[in-house]
Amino acid sequence: MEADKAREISERDQLWASLRGLRPEIDALAAGEFDQSPRQQQVMMILARVITAELSFRERLISSE
């Protein structure tokens, strides 16, 4: 079980690190700059998936304690 937990933590860290490349676009969204472009819609979908994955991770973490 520890190997699975370590792998999941590593994958989670990689996922968050991968968002660095989207930082300018994320900052623009955070500032309220919405243009409804296909690219912006993709970024918002990626952010929603990351948030969903993070919430699931935290739920599993809490339930395993």
Q: Using N-to-C axis directions, what is the helix angle for 38-63 and 2-18, rounded to 10°?
A: 150
* Lookup result for tokens 């979908």: 45
Q: What pLDDT does residue 6 have?
A: 85
Phi and psi torsions of 32, nearest 5° = 85, 15
Is pLDDT above 80 for 1? Answer: no
Please report the DSSP string for 27-64 in residue order.
HHHHTT-----HHHHHHHHHHHHHHHHHHHHHHHHHHT
Max CA separation in the chain (angstroms): 45
Q: What pLDDT does residue 29 have?
A: 96
What pLDDT, in 10s, does the model give residues 7-48? Answer: 888 888 888 888 999 999 999 999 999 999 999 999 999 999
